[in-house]
């Protein structure tokens, strides 16, 4: 008997990987087929831009030099049982540059004199925080003072009832897991008085490098009915979001100023997790935050896909302009059922760390509790230390300076927060399914792409992109619509779907999409959903977006559509939906209409594609291969088959490419695994050869191509500016580091 890893590595696997996967799941057949695999025979490589000038380390703030972050999330019991020297030795030996040490606000980990900063019952007046901070500093590690201002105790509530979040009936809102703790209101004086008092006390006693608030800003927009919040616009509205953002930024600046009272290079930062669903305006935050704390610790019930971490990295890159970002990887067991003090499987944990690095963030390893020996479950320690050691060897290649991509995906934060889909499918899950649908299609097509925040659509933000994709970005202001129009006028191409641009920034519905003029479309009726059979698209004439479809007159349509008035020379027209049962009635009463199922236009070098249905979401919830092929064909047509980097081979891979100080780095994340969409990775299914092609700037020479995970050198061919090399195999992750001269 041999295990599956050995089987796939050796000649014992008689079938090629694509055939093996196809036999397991027909959806994978498209991932290996010519219509979806990156780099078809007609692909054209886009020349990379001239390289950036050299970095001057003296000009960089200290946090930009942080490469590895460690945190033991301390419990009330830890002061009684934790060996401080052992704790500091672990993180130092693992190679952490900085560690989080708990101050908190819920429980004090030092002998605080701030009223209502309750001492833990095992503290016994010990200066636990001070001992930990000193031990870290002695070993050359920086220290983050970690606070958690979201909860407090009954005595504080009795003395300050105004500090509590309130339900609609006026009663305090308590923690769902420990009702002794009430939830504090971010608009109350708790944030103005109590939190600053703790910060100033810590500043007066200890040498810390920065302050951090866990659980604030909150992960979602809070709904509170206290006396202050009752005077604000209704929760969950764009007007409330404006007040929320103003409060977040006012407090952020206040806390940052307090941090700097000790040292000018100290700073404050808060929790900014949530990727595209984050609550603060990320474009505005990108100008303020010097440390982007991403908090996607592992898969959840609501986000079960393995690429949840890379979505976060792309959101960071959309707003930070090269500033520092770190993503917290929970070494503990995340998911629908949580074991907060038990380890993840090593393969799952490593993949999360792989994604952190590949998407441009610093790896950050985190566990809860530090009993003697650093916990009852100590399996997490080796996984994190081994990964940190490997990453430290290759820091120069793993730190990206700018992405290599020619596709931009508009990240509609307003749509994510306020739009719930059409009335026929009203649900908060709607935007998540739409995002995942396009994301999954781009991964299967092996495209190099970036997220582009809706508030960053200036020409300088968009000029690098051949195509801009708008996956049902329903909420767009007039200004944003004009910016997208200017992008098309300048030669850019766009794809949009369904209700994109149908609502302004205040959720006021327009008579027509704000982009209707670009596509030359006019609505004919309100949204139509499915009743049994969804509608179909009838093929009217051949077009590149229909490549690979043969022996059929129909293609599946989407679950919901916005009917359009007729256009000239449509490619697909709508066959209206009809019942699926009984089968006697499963035929179209009207088999031919002049309603377009897709609108395609060209103007100079610009190409435009509009799907009147929710194609990305329908693909995601069904997995239908025809919808995937139609999306992929359309993206290929819009890009005129141009690619910034081309990676050919079998399997489902997420691709990132970066310009680095030594040259370039191509990251491949192998998602060819039965647990990519659910659960955890329990083992690795290696991929065979992957051929990489890039077109370097004129005059750039290549010294070497190193494969950092497999620790080998790859032969390469450089013909003119065209660089080609092959990665022989990919386990869970590979980084091809190109060193240039």
Judged against a pLDDT cut of 90, whether residue 585 lies above it is answered with yes
Q: Which of 186, 151, 183, 187 is nearest to 167 (CA)?
A: 183
Q: Which pLDDT belongs to residue 626?
A: 98
pLDDT tens digits, residue range 361-394? Answer: 999 999 998 887 777 899 999 999 999 999 999 9
For 504, the token pair is 């302004």
Same domain? 227 vs 332: yes
Six token digits for residue 682: 């329990």
Q: Is the pLDDT of residue 4 over 50?
A: no
Contact at 8 Å (CB) between 404 and 657? yes
**Residue 305 has which token pair?**
């896909």
Q: Which has the closest alpha carbon to 640: 46, 1, 25, 76? A: 46
For residues 210-219, average pLDDT: 96
Residues 193 and 319 in one domain: yes
pLDDT tens per residue, range 10-29: 333 333 333 333 333 333 33
| Mean confidence (pLDDT) of the chain | 93
Q: Kindly state the percentage of the chain with pLDDT values over 90.
A: 89
pLDDT tops 90 at residue 240: yes
Nearest-angstrom CA–CA distance, 245 and 350: 35
Whether 657 and 511 map to the same domain: the answer is no
d(CA 153, CA 158): 9
Do 624 and 654 fall into the same domain? no
Instruction: CATH number of the domain at 710, please.
Output: 2.60.40.1180
Q: How much is the average pLDDT of 94-108? A: 98
What pTM, to 2 d.p., does this model score?
0.93
User: Of 643, 677, 702, which marks where a domain is finished?
Assistant: 643
What digits encode the pLDDT tens for the residues 491-548? 999 999 999 999 999 999 999 999 999 999 999 999 999 989 999 999 999 999 999 9
> CA–CA separation, 558 vs 534, rounded Å?
7
pLDDT, tens digit (0-9, with 9 covering 90-100), for 28-79: 333 333 333 333 446 899 999 999 999 888 889 999 999 999 999 999 999 9
Return the pLDDT at 8: 38
Q: Is residue 229 part of a domain?
A: yes
Alpha helices in 263-378 (DSSP H): 282-288, 308-320, 346-358
CATH code assigned at 236 = 3.20.20.80
Domain contains 172:
no
Instruction: Let me know whether 566 and 465 are in one domain.
Output: yes
* pLDDT at residue 255 greater than cutoff 80: yes
562: number of Cβ within 10 Å = 23
Task: State the pairing for strand pair 733-740/663-670.
Answer: antiparallel
Burial letters for 213-232: b for 16+ Cβ neighbours within 10 Å, e otherwise? Answer: bbbbbbeebbebbbeebeeb
Residue 158 in domain? no
Q: Please tell me the distance from the alpha carbon of residue 410 to that of residue 514, in angstroms, as a whole number.
A: 15
The total number of structural domains in the chain stands at 3
Give CA 501 to chain center in angstroms.
23
Do residues 343 and 292 share a domain?
yes
Does residue 657 belong to any structural domain of this protein?
yes
Question: Quick check: 132 and 81 in contact, CB under 8 A?
Answer: no
Which of 614, 643, 672 is the last residue in one of the domains?
A: 643
Q: Which domain holds residue 619?
A: 405-643
Same domain for 420 and 520, yes or no, is yes
Q: Report the distance separating Cα 66 and Cα 142, nearest Å.
A: 9
The whole-number average pLDDT for the span 196-209 is: 98
Residue 25 pLDDT? 35
Mean pLDDT of 151-179: 97
Tokens 């006026």 correspond to 170
Q: Are 662 and 397 in contact (CB under 8 A)?
A: yes
User: What's residue 36's pLDDT?
Assistant: 35
Please identify which residue in the block is written with the tokens 């070497």. Answer: 704
Question: Which tens digits make up the pLDDT trace of 404-437?
Answer: 999 999 999 999 999 999 977 778 799 999 999 9
Distance between CA atoms of residues 385 and 407, nearest Å: 36
Residues 333 and 235 grouped into a single domain:
yes
Closest CA to 405 of 662, 632, 645: 645
Query: 311 and 445: one domain?
Result: no
C-beta separation of 727 from 707 below 8 A = yes
Residues 382 and 444 in one domain: no
- Residue for token digits 């026929």? 424
Total length of the chain: 741
Per-residue pLDDT tens over the stretch 646-696: 999 999 999 999 999 999 999 999 999 999 998 899 999 999 999 999 999
Q: Three-class SS of residue 444? A: helix
pLDDT for res 587: 95
Q: State residue 42's pLDDT score.
A: 60
Average pLDDT over residues 211-233: 97
E strand spans, 271-412:
291-294, 324-330, 332-333, 339-343, 362-368, 400-403, 407-411
Longest pairwise C-alpha distance within the chain? 81
Which among 369, 393, 417 is the end of a domain?
A: 393
Report d(CA 469, CA 487) in Å as an integer: 12
Listed in order, strand segments (DSSP E) in 185-315 are 210-213, 267-270, 291-294
Q: Please name the residues in contact with 648: beta carbons below 8 A apart, sequence gap of 6 or more.
A: 37, 38, 39, 690, 691, 693
Task: Tell me, yes or no, whether 400 lies in a domain.
Answer: no
Around 149, how many Cα atoms within 13 Å sit in the side-chain half-sphere? 27
The model's confidence at residue 296, banded by pLDDT at 50, 70 and 90, is: very high
Q: Are residues 194 and 323 in the same domain?
A: yes
Q: What is the mean pLDDT of residues 699-708?
A: 98
Burial of 170 (0-12, 13-18, 19+ CB in 10 A): exposed
C-alpha closest to that of 665 among 654, 656, 674: 656
Residue 602, domain CATH:
3.40.50.880
Measuring CA to CA, which residue among 644, 671, 647, 669 is closest to residue 658? 644
46 located within any domain = no
76: in domain: yes
Q: What's the rounded mean pLDDT across residues 322-338?
A: 93
pLDDT digits (tens, 9 = 90+) for 429-474: 999 999 999 999 999 999 999 999 999 999 999 999 999 999 999 9
Nearest to 438 by CA among 408, 401, 481: 408
Which pLDDT does position 117 carry in this prediction? 98
Unique residue bearing structure tokens 């490469």? 67
441/520 same-domain check:
yes
Structure tokens, 79: 């002061």
Whether 176 maps to a domain, the answer reads: no
């Amino acid at each position: 008997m041999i295990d599956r890893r050995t089987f796939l590595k050796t000649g014992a696997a008689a079938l090629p990987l694509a055939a093996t996967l196809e036999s397991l799941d027909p959806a994978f057949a498209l991932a290996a087929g010519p219509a979806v695999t990156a780099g078809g025979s007609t692909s054209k490589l886009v020349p990379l831009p001239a390289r950036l000038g050299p970095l001057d380390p003296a000009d960089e703030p200290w946090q930009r030099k942080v490469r590895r972050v460690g945190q033991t999330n301390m419990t009330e019991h830890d002061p009684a049982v934790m060996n401080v020297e052992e704790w500091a030795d672990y993180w130092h030996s693992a190679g952490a540059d900085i560690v989080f040490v708990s101050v908190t606000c819920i429980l004090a980990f030092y002998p605080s004199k701030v009223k209502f900063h309750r001492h833990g019952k095992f503290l016994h007046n010990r200066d636990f925080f001070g001992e930990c901070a000193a031990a870290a500093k002695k070993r050359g590690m920086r220290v983050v003072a970690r606070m958690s201002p979201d909860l407090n105790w009954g005595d504080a509530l009795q003395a300050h009832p105004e500090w509590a979040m309130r339900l609609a009936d006026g009663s305090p809102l308590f923690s769902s897991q420990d009702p002794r703790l009430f939830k504090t209101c971010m608009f109350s004086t708790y944030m103005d008085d109590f939190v600053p008092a703790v910060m100033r006390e810590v500043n007066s006693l200890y040498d810390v490098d920065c302050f951090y608030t866990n659980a604030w800003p909150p992960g979602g927009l809070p709904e509170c009915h206290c006396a202050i919040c009752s005077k604000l616009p209704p929760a969950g509205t764009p007007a409330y979001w404006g007040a929320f953002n103003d409060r977040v930024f006012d407090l952020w600046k206040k806390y940052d100023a307090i941090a700097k009272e000790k040292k000018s290079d100290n700073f404050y930062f808060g929790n900014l997790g949530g990727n595209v669903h984050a609550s603060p305006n990320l474009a505005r935050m990108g100008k303020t935050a010097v440390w982007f704390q991403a908090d996607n610790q592992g898969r959840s019930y609501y986000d079960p896909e393995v690429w949840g971490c890379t979505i976060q990295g792309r959101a960071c890159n959309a707003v930070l302009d090269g500033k520092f970002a770190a993503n917290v990887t929970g070494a503990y067991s995340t998911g629908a059922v949580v074991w907060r003090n038990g380890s993840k499987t090593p393969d799952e944990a490593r993949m999360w760390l792989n994604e952190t690095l590949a998407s441009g963030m610093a790896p950050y390893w985190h566990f809860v509790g530090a009993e003697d020996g650093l916990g009852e479950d100590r399996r997490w320690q080796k996984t994190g230390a081994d990964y940190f050691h490997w990453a430290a060897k290759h820091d120069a290649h793993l730190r990206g300076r700018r992405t290599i991509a020619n596709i931009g995906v508009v990240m509609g934060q307003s749509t994510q927060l306020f739009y719930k889909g059409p009335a026929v499918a009203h649900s908060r899950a709607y935007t998540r399914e739409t995002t995942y649908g396009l994301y999954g299609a781009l991964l299967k097509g092996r495209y190099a792409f970036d997220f582009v925040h809706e508030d960053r659509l200036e020409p300088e933000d968009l000029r690098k992109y051949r195509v801009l994709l708008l996956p049902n970005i329903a909420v767009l202001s007039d200004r944003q619509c004009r910016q997208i129009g200017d992008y098309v006028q300048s030669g850019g191409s766009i794809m949009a779907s369904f209700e994109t641009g149908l609502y302004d920034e205040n959720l006021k519905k327009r008579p027509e999409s704000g982009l209707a003029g670009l596509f030359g479309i006019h609505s004919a009726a309100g949204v139509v959903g499915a009743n049994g059979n969804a509608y179909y698209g009838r093929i009217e004439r051949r077009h590149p977006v229909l490549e690979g479809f043969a022996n059929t007159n129909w293609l599946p349509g989407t679950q919901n559509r916005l009917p359009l008035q007729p256009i000239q020379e449509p490619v697909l027209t709508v066959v209206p939906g009809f019942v699926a049962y009984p089968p006697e009635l499963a035929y179209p009463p009207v088999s031919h209409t002049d309603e377009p199922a897709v609108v395609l236009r060209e103007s100079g070098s610009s190409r435009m594609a509009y799907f009147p249905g929710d194609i990305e979401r329908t693909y995601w919830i069904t997995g239908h291969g025809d919808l995937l092929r139609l999306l992929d064909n359309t993206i290929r047509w819009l890009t005129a088959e141009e690619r910034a980097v081309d990676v050919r081979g079998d399997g489902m891979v997420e691709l990132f490419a970066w310009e680095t100080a030594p040259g370039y780095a191509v990251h491949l994340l192998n998602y060819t695994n039965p647990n990519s969409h659910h659960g955890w990775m329990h083992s690795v299914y290696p991929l065979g050869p992957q051929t990489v092609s890039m077109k370097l700037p004129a005059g750039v020479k290549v010294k070497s191509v190193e494969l950092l995970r497999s620790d080998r050198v790859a032969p390469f061919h450089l013909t003119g500016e065209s660089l080609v090399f092959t990665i022989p195999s990919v386990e869970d992750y590979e980084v091809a580091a190109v060193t240039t001269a």
